[in-house]
Homo-oligomer: A and B are copies of this chain.
Amino acid sequence: LRQGSPEVIFGENKTPEQLLTIVSAMTGRQRNILVTRLDEEKGGLLVSRWPEGDYDPLARTFCLQLSPLPDLHRGPLLIACAGTSDLPVAREAMVTARMFGIEVEELTDVGVAGIHRLLAETDPLSRAAAIIVVAGMEGALPSVVGGLVAVPVIAVPTSVGYGAAFGGVAALLGMLNSCAGGVTVVNIDNGFGAAFAAARILRRQPA
């Protein structure tokens, strides 16, 4: 994974100054740089300093591509998303996956309360080499997807919801208890981690 993978910075708790210092230091190494969890202010700062970089306000990421993206990966990664409120997490996964050189397809608004919308999407489902499923509230989508496909399914619970959603705990528990076999789970809102796991899976190994 080492070669071709980006340097990643978790932007959440860092001050603007810290971010500038860290990114500056990294640019010397000529590896691609991904900064996550950036609000618009921090994102704007980075873009004004490195205009060739790309800030995505939905994903809250900043990408600075300093060398070609690797092309080591098998097949497309499908990122499926239950509701529109889950989009920021899905987008963080998408941006991250692309920095790993993975081809990404997206499927949005295919929540389980309107199951026919998901079932209509036979093409993207059958094409995918792996699937990231992003869902909040009851987090049921990975169970349905896991029952439809044989490829790896990585479930990302989101903090979308209120009351007994407990900031994503309901979705997390739902996914850990998925009745579809072999669904794996990452932390709440961890789109980055899901894409990283996909990169581990889709990497074309020697042999």
Contacts and interface: CB of A to CB of B under 8 A. Distances in A.
A68 B84 CA distance: 29
A57 to B, nearest CB: 10
A174 to B, nearest CB: 4
Interface in A148-207: 148, 150-154, 157, 159-190, 192-201, 203, 205, 207
A74 B179 CA distance: 26
A173 B169 contact: yes
Nearest to A111: B179
Interface string A1-22: 1100000101011100010000
Which residue, A84, A154, A187, A199, has most C-beta atoms of chain B within 10 A?
A: A187
Task: State the majority secondary structure of interface residues on A.
Answer: mixed
Given A140-B144, A176-B187, A207-B75, A85 B192 contact: no
A113 interface: yes
20 contacts: A10-B85, A13-B160, A74-B207, A83-B179, A113-B143, A113-B147, A113-B181, A151-B203, A154-B184, A157-B163, A163-B176, A163-B188, A164-B168, A164-B188, A165-B173, A171-B177, A174-B174, A176-B186, A183-B197, A201-B201
A115 interface: yes
Given A140-B143, A147-B115, A169-B173, A181 B196 contact: yes
Nearest to A200: B152
Interface residues of A, number: 81
Contacts of A13: 85, 160
A98 B140 CA distance: 29
A182 B193 contact: yes
Contacts of A143: 112-113, 138, 140
Interface in A133-151: 137-140, 143-144, 146-148, 150-151
